[in-house]
Structure 1
C-alpha cells in the first residue's frame, strides 16, 4: 500500500533532455508501483477486480492499485521508454517487455521485511531475487554484453517504506520493542542495505522515494484523526523524520568509495503531495480527504469492490482513488512535479 534516498538532485526539467534516455525502467516497492505482481501470489492484498482499473485501457483491472496508471507507467511514458511497465510475475512477457523494464513491486511490502511477511507479500529481498532471475532471462534474449549494458544504464525506481510506519509500527504491536526513533533508524538501515544490494546487481541510477504525509492519507485520518478526520500530526512527523534520515543516508552512499559510479537520488514525495492535499483548488480537485471509492473513508483493496463500494462519478476531481492510493490524475500531477524538479 503506501511509500519511501537523496543526492544533490538537478532541479530543472531541462536536465532530463541532457541525459541519455535510459533503455529500461525497473521498479521495486509497494502498492504505489505494483502493476499486478500480487495477482500471482497468495495474499489478500490485491485489487485485480473492478472498480480498480476502470480508467485503464480496456477498463482492465490489472492489479494496479488505482483507477488507471500508476507512477511507474507514468515515468516510463514521460521518458519515452513505453506506455506501461508490466508486472514481472503472472504476465506473459514479450522480449520487448524484458528489454525495456518491468516492475517487481508488491503491494503491502516495506523496507522492514516483517511488513511484507505480515500480509504474505514479496519482501524487498524477494523482489531482488526476482531481478536476479530476470537478468538471466535478459542474457538469453540480448546476450551477456548487451544485457550488462541495459542493467548498468537503466533507471531504477524504489518506492516503499510507508507501510512500515502506517501498518507495521503504528497499527500492529510487533515492532513496539522499538521506540519510534529507533524503528526509523532500523528502516533506514534496511533501505540502505537494499540500495547497496541493488548496486551489487549492477544498478547505478537509483531513485528512492521518501514517505508521503502518512497522517493525511484518508485511511489514517479515519483511524486516528478523530471525529473530524483531521491529519494525524504524529504520523506526519514520523514521515518527516524518516525522510530526513533517508536523505542523509543516500547522500552518504551516493558516489561513495563503496559504490563508485552510483547516481542516487532521494525523491521528496511529502512536499508536493501535502501541497495537493492542502490546496485542492490549485490542482483542480474537489476532494482530498476521502477516496473516490465507496464512502471514501475506509475502502481499500477488498473493501473497494463493485458489489459494496461504487466509485464516485468523476475520479478526476478526487486526489485519492481509495483510502490509500491516488487516482491516475493525482499520480499524473504528482509525477509531473517530481520529473520537473529532479530532471528524471
Structure 2
C-alpha cells in the first residue's frame, strides 16, 4: 500500500478520530491484543513466573506512578494506539479478575510477557493458550451482549505482537534448536505458526487483523551486550534475521489475503521506526540509545530492574530503552505515531 497512502488515510481520519474521542465513540467496537511483553498490560501478574513488571521502578511515569505489569516506565505503544482510535484506555488484561462483566464489551488483552509464536517459547501463556482464553472470552461476551456479540467480534480490531522472544530467548540460547535448524529454517517454522494463528482467529470471527514485524533486535541493549563482541553498535546479523523474518511475514500476509475472504490483514512495520530511533536518536530529542534507563541498562529486565537497582536514570524521556529489552514511554509514543496510519487502514 505504501507509506504515502497510509499518511493520506491518517489525515483523512484525523477529524473523525478527534470527534470519536470527544464523544467517547471509538472507531471500532472493541480491541483485542495478543502477544508478548511489548503489549502485555498485566496478564503475567497473575502467573507464577519471574517474568513480571508489577513492581517499581516499572510504571513510575504511568498514571499514579504505579506499576501495572507493563514492561516500561509508562505507557506502551498499544496504549497510545488505543487512545488514538477513540478508547479511553487500552483493553485490560484478561486475567485481571476485576475487569470482567460489562468491561469486556470493549475488548481484552491476552498478551503474556515471554511468549512467542513457537509453542515451546517462554513457558508462560503461549499464543495458542491466548487463543483459548479468547474462546472463553467469546462465551462470556455472548452472555453479556447477546445477539450483539457477533457484530462486536467481526467489527473489532485485532493486534498481534510476537516473534522476537522466539529468537532471542529461545532459539539462540537453545543448543538443540541451534543444532537442528538454521535461523532461516527456524523463521519458516515461526511463519507457519503465525499463519496458523491468523487462520484460527479468523475462523473465530476476526476480520481486521494487524500484526507487527520483529523490531531491530540487534540494536537492543541486551543482545548488543551478549552478542556484540564488546561493540556498542547494532549486531548486523541479528538485524538480518529480523529483516528476513519480516519479509516472509509480508509474503505470507499476501497469501492469507487470497485464502481468507473478507479479511483485512495489515503488517505493522515497527522495525524501521525503532531502527531510526536507535541510529538517529537526536532527531527525536533523545540522547541515549545504547543503554536502558534502569540500572546499568545493558542486560537488566524484569526482576533485574528493581527498586534497589543502582544507577537508574532520572529522566527516562531521554532514553530509547527503559531496560535491556523494552522501550520507554517516550519511544513508545514515537513508534505508535508512526504505526497509526497502518492501523487506520485496517478500519477504513
Distance 1:174 1:35, change over 3 A: farther
Shift of 1:75: 1.1
Name the residue aligned to 2:192: 189
TM-score (norm 1): 0.92
2:237 counterpart (207, 210, 234): 234
Question: 2: distance between equivalents of 1:115 and 1:170?
Answer: 12
Shift of 1:28: 0.1
1:322 match: secondary structure: coil
2:187 match: secondary structure: helix
Judge which range, 81-90 or 154-163, deviates more. Answer: 81-90
Q: For residues 130-182 of structure 1, what are the alpha-carbon distances to aligned partners after superposition, in whole Å with 9 as ceiling and x for unaligned?
A: 00101111111111x21111010010000010111112111222312111111
Equivalent pair of 2:221/2:297 in contact (CA under 8 Å)? yes
1:253 counterpart (256, 275, 291): 256
Name the residue aligned to 2:23: none
Question: 2: distance between equivalents of 1:36 and 1:214?
Answer: 23
Equivalent pair of 1:69/1:328 in contact (CA under 8 Å)? yes
Name the residue aligned to 2:11: 14
Q: Following superposition, which runs of at least 4 residues in structure 1 exceed 2 angstroms of deviation?
A: 7-10, 14-20, 94-97, 308-311, 340-344
Equivalent pair of 1:113/1:123 in contact (CA under 8 Å)? yes
What is the CA RMSD across the aligned residues, in angstroms? 1.7
Equivalent pair of 2:30/2:107 in contact (CA under 8 Å)? yes
Name the residue aligned to 1:4: none
Q: For residues 85-116 of structure 1, what are the alpha-carbon distances to aligned partners after superposition, in whole Å with 9 as ceiling and x for unaligned?
A: 21100340154421111110000011111112
Question: 1: distance between equivalents of 2:310 and 2:116?
Answer: 27
Shift of 1:282: 0.7
Q: For residues 69-88 of structure 1, what are the alpha-carbon distances to aligned partners after superposition, in whole Å with 9 as ceiling and x for unaligned?
A: 11221111111122232110
Distance 1:48 1:329, change over 3 A: same
Structure 1, unaligned runs of 5 or more:
1-6
Equivalent pair of 1:299/1:309 in contact (CA under 8 Å)? no
TM-score (norm 2): 0.91
Shift of 1:310: 4.8
Name the residue aligned to 1:104: 110
2:120 counterpart (111, 114, 120): 114
2:170 match: secondary structure: helix
Equivalent pair of 1:303/1:309 in contact (CA under 8 Å)? no
Equivalent pair of 2:82/2:88 in contact (CA under 8 Å)? yes
Equivalent pair of 1:82/1:100 in contact (CA under 8 Å)? no
The alignment status of 1:44 with 2:65, answered yes or no, reads no
Name the residue aligned to 1:216: 219
Question: 2: distance between equivalents of 1:326 and 1:16?
Answer: 28
- After the TM superposition, which residues 137-216 of structure 1 pair with which residues of structure 2 at under 5 Å, given as runs? 137-143=140-146, 145-176=147-178, 177-216=180-219
Name the residue aligned to 1:68: 74
Shift of 1:340: 3.3
Structure 2, unaligned runs of 5 or more:
18-25
1:312 match: secondary structure: coil
Equivalent pair of 1:209/1:267 in contact (CA under 8 Å)? yes
Shift of 1:342: 5.0
Judge which range, 334-343 or 77-86, deviates more. Answer: 334-343
Question: 2: distance between equivalents of 1:281 and 1:329?
Answer: 13
Distance 1:341 1:27, change over 3 A: closer
